[in-house]
Structure formats: C-alpha cells, structure tokens
Amino acid sequence: MYNARYVIPALLVFIILITLPFWVNVVTPEYSRPELVLPAGAEACVEPVEYMRAEHMRLLNEWRDAALREGKRVYTSSTGQVWDINLQNTCMHCHTDKAGFCDACHDSNSVDPYCWDCHIEPGAVTGASGNGGKQ
Amino acid sequence: MKRRQFLQAVMATAAVSLVPSLPLGAAPGRETFSEGSKALKAGRWAMVIDTRKMNDPRLQKKVIEACHSRHNVPDIEGPQEIKWIWTDSYDHTFPEQLNNYPAQTLTDRRFLLLCNHCENPPCVRVCPTQATFKRDDGIVVMDYHRCIGCRFCMAGCPYGARSFNFSDPQEYVKTPNPKFPMRMRGVVEKCTFCSEQLAKGELPYCVQASEGGILFGDLNDPASDVRKALLSAISIRRKPSLGTQPGVYYIL
C-alpha cells in the first residue's frame, strides 16, 4: 500500500469524527422525560394520554383547520366526549401551568412552537373563566 | 450465497418492511367534527346599518369599544392604527355618490365602517397563501397562522378595512380579553363578522351594542330582519361600481 503511514491515521481520524455523535452520547447522561405539572382535578384529556403525548400537535392542527376553515367548532372525541374547539378556553382551561406543562417538554426537546405569539396563556391576564369547553 | 437464496432474502426483508410500524398511542379514528347545535347558520350573512340611528357619537363609540375590547384590537395612534370598525365622513364613505349638492342631513353624518364581507372579495383573490378566504356563508375571514404579511390584501381591499401590525400589537392592548387570541407583528387583521360569536349562537358584538341601530341576518331569507329592513327603506352600499357586492348596507 502506498503512503500507508499517512492514509491509515487519516482514515482513523475520519472514522472517529464521523462517529463522534455516538461517543458524545455514550458519555453524556441519558435523556429523561421531564416532570410535568399535570392539571389538578381533571381525570382525562380530550383523547387518551398516549395519543395526546405523541400526536397533540397534529390534533391542534386539525382543530385549527376545522374551526377556522370549516366552521366546525365542536369536537366529539374517540371516547365520545364532546368539547369546544378552543386552545385558550378548552386546552388551557385545565393546563393552566404553561411553564410546568408545555414549556417543560418543548424546552427539553428543543422545539419552539409559536402558539403563544398570539394565544394568551392563563394567568397572563386576569378574568379567564368558564367551564373549559366541555359540553 | 446462491442467486435464489439472495432473492428470497430480499423478498423476505421487503415483506417485513411492509408490516406497518406499531402505533405510538391509541390513535383515535372515531372522532368527529361538527358545528354545534347552537350555531347560527345562514346562506349569506349581511348587515344593515341604520345611519339615522347610528349617527350618535356616543352609540358609535360604544359599538367600536364593544368590538375592539372583546377582540383585543390594539389602540395605536397615527398611520399605523389598527381598526376593525371605525367611522368616517359622507364623502369618504360614499365617493361614488356624485350628486354635487347632497342633503345636509347626509353630509353632516358620520358613518360606521367595517369589512364589507364582499360577495367577490378582492382581498381573497390576491392572497398568495389563502390566509384570507370566504366561507360558504359569505363571511370573509382571516387565518392568522397562514398570513405572511405581504399586504396584498390591503392593496386589494377598496374599503380600507384591513390593518397591518407593524409592531407587536400586544403592547397596545390595555386590558386583553383572555377568551380571545391576540395577533402578532407582521400579520394583517380585520373584522370577522364575529364568526366566533355566531358559532356560539350569539349575534356580533357591534349588533348587540347598537341598541337596534344595526341589523344582522341572512340575506337569502326573505323573512329575515335585514331583508325586511332593505325592503322598507332606501339603502346604499359602498363603491357599488367595483362589483364586489358588499354585504354591509347603509339605510339613509
């Protein structure tokens, strides 16, 4: 082999560099799911918790399009419950702690949804009330 | 490895990959969306403003306040103002009324202006993202999630009914209504004919605050209040020659 004393060390450096994420992952502590502040006094969300955990963003997109574009503002869940489609008055009626619930997961997963650029989080202003959209 | 074995292995791998991956959660599938039993419905929503009654500055202020406070419309002075419903003079409101000697009762009046929710809305035609669109019941609404702030709709609207958020509007809302969203910098906003109120079975805020001076109803229903009012009095619409077919009528 020509220039083996240059080629082989260079190959080793290349392999180490390209597998660097794995080595970093080995030495850093394991990811742990953040502790969320769950709403007190609420027995169930609009859908089963496993579905909400994985797919709440899809549900919110569907809610937005149904309410705004089709004018359908009432949601009957797979469990038969009937809810008003409303982020501020239904979702965040129970999930009042944005920092402890929404932000805890979003921050640890490095996602930055723009919901609260416009929607008002509970406690930001006084006067929010109602029955939480449950019918 | 023989050619036959290799092909068998390839086919087996492909078959396994076709098996759908396990669902992450209990995916719903029986969920449904509906309009709700209380929602008000119409073939074509329209508004009739009786300018004889709505000429009262106190009433105009009350109506504007009722709308702007509930919808978190920021209070900004000057050329960057945001308005959903506002007032203007006779010659600004009806520039196509070419009579050189109009009645003084008209020229003295102030007229309530808002989005006309046109039958042929120019704003919808020019919107590149379909952020603004016309619903089946004639209401022209905004999807702020899609608005990119290009302001084509503001150029398209012949009635000046659209306002652009040049800066963060939330600093200019003194007492926000926690039940309604705000807007952000870089989106266009306007009157929604209170579509969120109609979904709850209630009339728009301006109609409720008008003490009977503003009527709201279905233009397709001959028995509706708006149709009866239009039959019984002389009414005009803004800039009719443009062919936009506004949904807001003014009784003179």
> How near does any CA of chain B get to the CA of A42, in Å?
20
Q: What is the pLDDT of residue A132?
A: 66
For B12-46, what is each residue's pLDDT tens digit? 988 888 776 555 544 566 778 998 889 999 999 99
Residues of B in contact with A66 (CB under 8 A): 33
Provide the shortest C-alpha distance from residue B52 to chain A (in Å).
34
Question: Are B36 and A70 in contact (CB < 8 Å)?
Answer: no
**Residues B108-123 pLDDT 10s:** 999 999 999 999 999 9
Q: Each residue's pLDDT tens digit in chain A (135 positions)?
A: 889 999 999 999 999 999 999 999 999 888 888 999 999 888 889 999 999 999 999 999 999 999 999 999 999 998 889 999 999 999 999 999 999 999 999 999 999 999 999 999 987 765 545 566 666
B165: CB partners within 8 A, 6+ apart: B74, B82, B149, B183, B184, B185, B186, B187, B188, B189
Closest residue in A to B26 (Cα) is A51
Cβ of A71 within 8 Å of Cβ of B24? The answer is no
CA-to-CA dists, residue B157 to A23, B48, B49, B128, B132, angstroms: 59, 20, 20, 15, 12
Q: Quote the mean pLDDT of chain B.
A: 93
CATH of domain B45-251: 3.30.70.20
The DSSP bridge pattern shows strands B248-251 and B45-50 to be: parallel
**DSSP per position, A26-62:** HHSPPP-PPPP-PPTT----SS-HHHHHHHHHHHHHH
pLDDT of A128 reads 47
- Which tokens sit at A132? 């939480």
pLDDT at A135: 63
Give the residue ranges of DSSP H helices in B32-184: 57-70, 90-93, 104-107, 122-126, 152-156
Name the residue among B25, B31, B183 with its Cβ closest to that of A75: B31
Q: Are A47 and B32 in contact (CB under 8 A)?
A: no
What residue has token string 């009432």? A74
pLDDT at residue number B21: 56
Residue B52, pLDDT score:
95
pTM of this structure: 0.83
CA distance B32 to A62: 11
Report which residue type is found at B60.
Q
Residue A127 backbone phi and psi in degrees, to 5: 115, -5
Interface contact A85-B33, CB threshold 8 A: yes
Q: Which two tokens stand for residue B96?
A: 């196509």
- Residue B208: CA count within 13 A, CB half-sphere: 13
The pair of three-digit structure tokens given for residue B33, joined into one six-digit string: 């969306």
Chain B residue numbers touching A45 (CB-CB < 8 A): none
With tokens 């003079």, the residue in question is B89
Cβ-based contacts of A122 with chain B (< 8 Å): 178
Give the pLDDT of residue A130: 57
Query: Where are chain A's structural domains?
Result: 49-117
Q: Order of strands, edge to edge, in the sheet holding B214-218?
A: B214-218, B45-50, B248-251, B235-236
Q: How far is A26 from chain B (nearest CA, A)?
A: 26
Contact assessment for residue B35 and residue A72, using Cβ atoms and an 8 Å cutoff:
yes
Residue-wise pLDDT tens digits, A79-105 = 889 999 999 999 999 999 999 999 999
Q: Which residues of B touch A98 (CB under 8 A)?
A: none
Rg of chain B over all Cα atoms, to the nearest angstrom? 25
- Token pair recorded at residue A122: 């509970």
Confidence at residue A133, expressed as pLDDT on a 0 to 100 scale: 65
